[in-house]
Structure 1
Amino acid sequence: MRIAVLDHDRSQADLICQVLTAAGHSCQSYDSGKELLAHLRKDSADMLILDWLVSDMNAVEVLRRAREKMPAHTPIMFMTTSSGEDDIVAGVAAGASDYMIKPLRRGELLARVQAMLRRAYPSQNGAEQLQFGPYVFETRPGRLLMEGEVIDVTHKEFYLALLFFRNIGRPLSRAYIHEAVWIRETAVPSRTMDTHVSRVRNKLQLKPENGFRLVPVYSYGYRLEKLGTPGTQ
Structure 2
Amino acid sequence: MMNRIALLEDHERMAALVSRALATAGIETDVYGTLSQATIGLAQIRYPALVLDRNLPDGDGLQLVRQLRARRIDTPCLMLTARDALHDRIDGLEAGADDYLPKPFSMEELVARVRALMRRAPQQQSLAPEHGDLRIDPMESRMACGAESISLSSAELQLMLVLVRAAGATARRTALEAAAWGIAEPVTPNALDVALHRLRRKLAGIDSVVQIVNQRGLGYALKLPHEDT
TM-score (norm 1): 0.53
Distance 1:139 1:15 in 2: 19
Deviations 1:125-161 (A, max 9, x none): 27536xxxxxx88689xxxx99739xxxxxxxxxxxx
1:3 lines up with 2:2 in the alignment: no
Query: 1:25 matched to which residue of 2?
Result: 27
Distance 1:114 1:27 in 2: 13
Give ranges in structure 1 of 5+ residues lacking alignment: 130-135, 150-164, 169-233
What does residue range 172-211 of structure 1 map to in structure 2 within 5 Å?
Answer: none
What does residue range 81-92 of structure 1 map to in structure 2 within 5 Å?
Answer: 81-92=82-93
Q: Is this contact kept in 2: 1:6–1:49, CA < 8 A?
A: yes
Query: 1:75 matched to which residue of 2?
Result: 76
Distance 2:128 2:27 in 1: 17
Q: Is this contact kept in 2: 1:44–1:70, CA < 8 A?
A: no
1:124 lines up with 2:125 in the alignment: yes
How many correspondences in the alignment? Answer: 145
Deviations 1:6-51 (A, max 9, x none): 1111111111111112211221111111111122223322211110
Query: 1:101 matched to which residue of 2?
Result: 102
Higher relative CO (Cα under 8 Å, sequence separation at least 6) belongs to: 2
| RMSD between aligned residues | 3.4
How far the C-alpha of 1:70 sits from its partner, in A, is: 6.1
How far the C-alpha of 1:69 sits from its partner, in A, is: 4.7
TM-score (norm 2): 0.53
3-state SS of paired residue (1:91): helix
How far the C-alpha of 1:122 sits from its partner, in A, is: 6.8
Letter in 2 for 1:40: L
Percent of residue pairs identical? 29
3-state SS of paired residue (1:46): coil
Q: Is this contact kept in 1: 2:48–2:124, CA < 8 A?
A: no
Bigger CA radius of gyration: 1
Give ranges in structure 2 of 5+ residues lacking alignment: 155-229
Query: 2:52 matched to which residue of 1?
Result: 50
Q: Is this contact kept in 2: 1:23–1:166, CA < 8 A?
A: no
Distance 2:83 2:22 in 1: 23
Query: 2:168 matched to which residue of 1?
Result: none
3-state SS of paired residue (2:91): helix
Query: 1:39 matched to which residue of 2?
Result: 41
How far the C-alpha of 1:60 sits from its partner, in A, is: 2.4
CA 1:70 to 1:16, structure 2 compared with 1: closer, same or farther past 3 Å? Answer: farther
Letter in 2 for 1:91: G
CA 1:33 to 1:2, structure 2 compared with 1: closer, same or farther past 3 Å? Answer: same
